[in-house]
Structure 1
Amino acid sequence: MNIIYIHTHDSGRYISPYGHALPSPGLMRFAEEGTLFRQAYNCGPTCSPSRAALLTGMVPHSAGMLGLAHRGFELNDYSRHLAAFLKKNGYATALCGIQHEAPKEKVHELGYDFIYKSANPDARLADYDTAEQACAWLKQKHDKPFFLSVGFFNTHRPFPEPGHDFSPDRILPPGCLPDTESVRRDMCGYAASLKIADECTGRVLDSLQKNGLRGSTLVFFTTDHGMAFPYMKCSLFDGGIGVSLIMDFPGNSCRGKVLDSLVSHIDIFPTICDLAGIKRPDYLQGVSLLPLFSNEKKEVRSEIFSEVTFHAAYEPIRAVRTSRYKYIRYFEDYNGIVPANIDSGYSKTFLLENGLLQQGHDQELLFDLYFDPAEKNNLLYHEKYRNILGDLSDRMENWMRATGDPLLDGKIKIPAGAKVNRRDSIHPQDNDFIKE
């Protein structure tokens, strides 16, 4: 069985298959043909930690990826990457486009036989080259099964100009942000970026069908984390940790269906092992999703965990989420905004001009997501939820111990050579790094 992993940057669930008025016909078609997960979550709402977790089957701190690869953070063991694992098990492996699990000088350690990266200096338009090269790979004759990673830069910032395709007067911003002209303008940029990602995804899926490979290939589409907007990317609210996940594979009995089961990115690796008939490595921390497809089970897990440690700046946070409740804990004795961990754009500028730096948060947060899906009402001190708080807090601490979370030993040191912004930096590109 062949395997294709198609991934975007910073898209969350803001695509049309999840009900958003953001044209993405290629992804909608794939969702109608495959299986869509409504409650899929990452293990960390920042680029490298999220991708590292998915591709090693371990949460970020277990995999060693506590920050961004291009800022000096690395995996503990490159041989545990999915590409290296599949290569060892007889697969041809190829990477077309972006990855964010290794610095560029170490990308060859991930286990790919073939690596293609467009020379186009405009990363947004380079996605068309990525799609073309992926299609060329699919046309080739392969004497063994293959694993193809197709990585698109879109919908990462900076967004393309929306032109006449999208109007700020006819678009709705995320519910966590104010409905203003500047925020709607930002959403138009996202929509224009999504259009490119969707077109490129559609081309790859068309090529798969054209070359007669659809019936022998597992295809899954996902993204690393939420959109690059305030209170989304790099936050443990659902806008940051909620991701799109669409899958299809030979013999899928749930084609065209939507599953509401709670699933994590770390569940993809063991699922691939089971579908490919490969023994799972003992370091995997996720669970297989196959019982959901066979209707053997309605749920395969009772909670998911997600984390932030380093992004542009240090901001250690952990979260546990069940189908109904979420508990978030900040591990620094600081209750202010860390602005460098919010990507620059019209939305951030608007909030900065209107008092973003005066906003704060409690050290611990507890939400009843049935009655507060927007995560605005902290129930930490409500007597009615005391037992829920105790249960989730215990689950988090047990998980941290079981997975060897270094936060248990206190503040995490910056690795030698890593670039980390000061906490009072306004933008990630300010380059005012902490000097250790």
Structure 2
Amino acid sequence: MLYRNTLALVSFFVIASATFAADTRQPNIIYVMLDDAGYNDFGAMGSQHVQTPVFDRMAAEGMRFTDHYSGSAVCAPTRCVLMTGLHTGHCRRRDNQAKANRNKTDDNGLVFLKDEDLTVAEVMQTAGYVTGGIGKWGLGNPGHAGSPDKQGFDHFLGYLDQMHAHTYYTDWLWNDGQRMETGKRYSHYFFEEDTLRFIRENKSKPFFLYLPYTLPHGKYEIPADDPASQIYQDKPWPQQVKNYAAMITRADMTVGKILDLLKELDIDDNTIVFYTSDNGPNAPFVKHLNSNAPFTGTKRSLKEGGIRAAMAVRWPGVVPAGETSDLVWGMRDLFPTACDLAGIDAPAHLDGISVLPTLKGESQTGHPHLYWEFPVRSQQAVRMGKWKGYREGTGSPLQLFDLTNDPAEKNNLAGKHPQIVQQMETIMTDSHVPSEFWPLDSGNKKGKMKR
């Protein structure tokens, strides 16, 4: 994974690029990612229970994607995929905690980004962007090479350790490498304020703003007097479900304030906003909210419900309004897309592609396939056109599903399409680069997520 030298090449392309005229400002890029919100927890994706008027507005004023995917089925590897542009068969972090060789890890079973890893934030810095991150990092604790300040961020406010992020009424947060005392105020309020501050202070410069908000991840709590809480107080649901729904709506309200500020500052037309979630929902919310509909599987599963992620993208005057796209893409594609937006060439080693043509309403050829792996039960999955391949254990029979006619993955068609099965098994073998921390077993062994 010796990609750091690529940064020198990127610097050359930034200087040499003639993509943008000298008087043309590069667009601002804002990437909002909620934590554990399901595909069907957004109104524009079909929810009848959770109110997300801003996501719905973005879908109406921009483009809604039906076949967009998370980087992984849990938090840390998704963030690794997003930052490095590498899928989970190639990237450094493939689960929240190491499955093997824990004595070699960076911190209590955690594996962080290294100096040689190249992130989208580093390349954006080289392209002249001010880079900010606000929310949950999860790829390197203080003092490690994986901390955001060492991975391309000019500013970061939030939680570095993902376990710390489970505490919304924390005593402190990390603010540019320093502890910031919070007085146990609800952490998302700091994130909202800092988001708006960052945009105001950098309105005259191109900026890349990564917003991995912690809502609605557990611990499921939100102030009772928050406006979002009031919306659900009379619902016939358990309190935990009410809180979960309110947390999604609260994050949605923050995105609304972002859009309002962009317009106030007259930078709305020069800012592209992505709005998604990092993986599928937890099981308790399927019963009451149908959070993973129309799929099966939840967080920690490579079935569609665990990795299919809602996505709306808005850029007035560029992204066509009110369109729905079935382009098959995912978080590995942010890195090359951001490079395309900045007018520079993407590093050659990335697993992603730029989806800017689709975002501009143009036709484009998508991925020939997408690949995921997840160490719990040694899961592997491939999406190839309408086909989805899935197995638990590298030696286990592959299950094959036609997602067009069977999005819930109930009808295994492997016996009817042996050539497709063979092709997918080859993709799984070729896409997996072994990791000493996350070996895949050949059999179907039960695993347990620890962190």
The yes-or-no answer on 1:326 pairing with 2:326 is no
The CA distance in 2 between the partners of 1:44 and 1:15, in whole Å, is: 20
* Structure 1 residue aligned with 2:292: none
The CA distance in 1 between the partners of 2:197 and 2:384, in whole Å, is: 42
Q: Which has the higher helix share?
A: 1
The CA distance in 1 between the partners of 2:45 and 2:279, in whole Å, is: 15
The CA distance in 2 between the partners of 1:332 and 1:399, in whole Å, is: 12
SS in 1 for 2:263: helix
Between 288-297 and 118-127, the greater mean CA deviation after superposition: 118-127
* Structure 1 residue aligned with 2:36: 10
The yes-or-no answer on 1:138 pairing with 2:199 is yes
> Are the counterparts in 1 of residues 372 and 382 from structure 2 also a CA contact under 8 Å?
yes
* Structure 2 residue aligned with 1:112: 153
Query: What is the letter of the counterpart of residue 151 of structure 1?
Result: P
Change (3 A) 1:411 1:307: closer
SS in 2 for 1:291: helix
Among residues 154, 160, 163, which one is paired with 2:215 in the alignment? 154
Query: What is the letter of the counterpart of residue 156 of structure 1?
Result: H
The CA distance in 1 between the partners of 2:397 and 2:323, in whole Å, is: 39
- Superposed counterparts of 1:42-61, under 5 Å: 42-61=70-89
SS in 2 for 1:90: coil
* Structure 2 residue aligned with 1:75: 113
Deviation at 1:298, TM superposition (A): 5.2
SS in 1 for 2:399: strand
The yes-or-no answer on 1:84 pairing with 2:122 is yes
Identity %: 28
The yes-or-no answer on 1:233 pairing with 2:260 is no
Deviation at 1:24, TM superposition (A): 0.8
Change (3 A) 1:411 1:122: closer
* Structure 2 residue aligned with 1:271: 337
Which protein, 1 or 2, shows the higher relative CO under an 8 Å CA cutoff with sep ≥ 6? 2
> Can you give the 5+ residue segments of structure 1 that lack an aligned partner in the other structure?
172-183, 334-361, 414-421, 430-436
> Are the counterparts in 2 of residues 306 and 319 from structure 1 also a CA contact under 8 Å?
yes
> Are the counterparts in 1 of residues 65 and 325 from structure 2 also a CA contact under 8 Å?
yes
The CA distance in 2 between the partners of 1:206 and 1:410, in whole Å, is: 44
Deviation digits for residues 376-407 of structure 1 (CA, Å, limit 9, x no counterpart): 23334x3x22223222222322333xxxx206
Deviation at 1:84, TM superposition (A): 1.5
- Superposed counterparts of 1:25-44, under 5 Å: 25-44=53-72
Change (3 A) 1:186 1:91: same
Change (3 A) 1:423 1:393: closer
Change (3 A) 1:116 1:164: closer
Among residues 407, 415, 418, which one is paired with 1:373 in the alignment? 407
Change (3 A) 1:156 1:410: closer
The yes-or-no answer on 1:222 pairing with 2:306 is no
* Structure 2 residue aligned with 1:95: 133
* Structure 2 residue aligned with 1:394: 426
Deviation at 1:79, TM superposition (A): 5.0
TM-score between the two structures when normalised by the length of structure 2: 0.73
* Structure 2 residue aligned with 1:174: none
The CA distance in 2 between the partners of 1:11 and 1:265, in whole Å, is: 15
Deviation at 1:143, TM superposition (A): 5.4
Deviation at 1:15, TM superposition (A): 1.0
* Structure 2 residue aligned with 1:246: 312
Deviation at 1:251, TM superposition (A): 4.2
Change (3 A) 1:125 1:221: same
> Are the counterparts in 1 of residues 127 and 342 from structure 2 also a CA contact under 8 Å?
no
Deviation digits for residues 300-356 of structure 1 (CA, Å, limit 9, x no counterpart): 1232222212xxxx53211001342211122278xxxxxxxxxxxxxxxxxxxxxxx
The CA distance in 1 between the partners of 2:429 and 2:136, in whole Å, is: 35
> Are the counterparts in 2 of residues 102 and 110 from structure 1 also a CA contact under 8 Å?
no
The CA distance in 1 between the partners of 2:134 and 2:434, in whole Å, is: 34
The yes-or-no answer on 1:428 pairing with 2:438 is no
The CA distance in 2 between the partners of 1:411 and 1:151, in whole Å, is: 25
SS in 2 for 1:428: coil
The CA distance in 2 between the partners of 1:168 and 1:372, in whole Å, is: 35
The CA distance in 2 between the partners of 1:295 and 1:370, in whole Å, is: 23
Change (3 A) 1:332 1:206: same
The yes-or-no answer on 1:210 pairing with 2:264 is yes
* Structure 2 residue aligned with 1:122: 169
SS in 1 for 2:344: coil
Change (3 A) 1:410 1:206: closer
How many residue pairs get aligned? The number is: 369
> Are the counterparts in 1 of residues 369 and 382 from structure 2 also a CA contact under 8 Å?
yes
Question: What RMSD, in angstroms, separates the aligned Cα atoms of the two structures?
Answer: 3.1
The CA distance in 2 between the partners of 1:76 and 1:363, in whole Å, is: 36
SS in 1 for 2:358: helix
> Are the counterparts in 2 of residues 63 and 77 from structure 1 also a CA contact under 8 Å?
no
Among residues 17, 20, 23, which one is paired with 2:51 in the alignment? 23
The CA distance in 1 between the partners of 2:149 and 2:438, in whole Å, is: 32
> Can you give the 5+ residue segments of structure 2 that lack an aligned partner in the other structure?
1-26, 98-106, 160-164, 171-184, 285-296
Deviation digits for residues 194-226 of structure 1 (CA, Å, limit 9, x no counterpart): 122111221222222211121111221122111
> Are the counterparts in 1 of residues 63 and 322 from structure 2 also a CA contact under 8 Å?
yes
Deviation at 1:232, TM superposition (A): 0.6
* Structure 1 residue aligned with 2:13: none
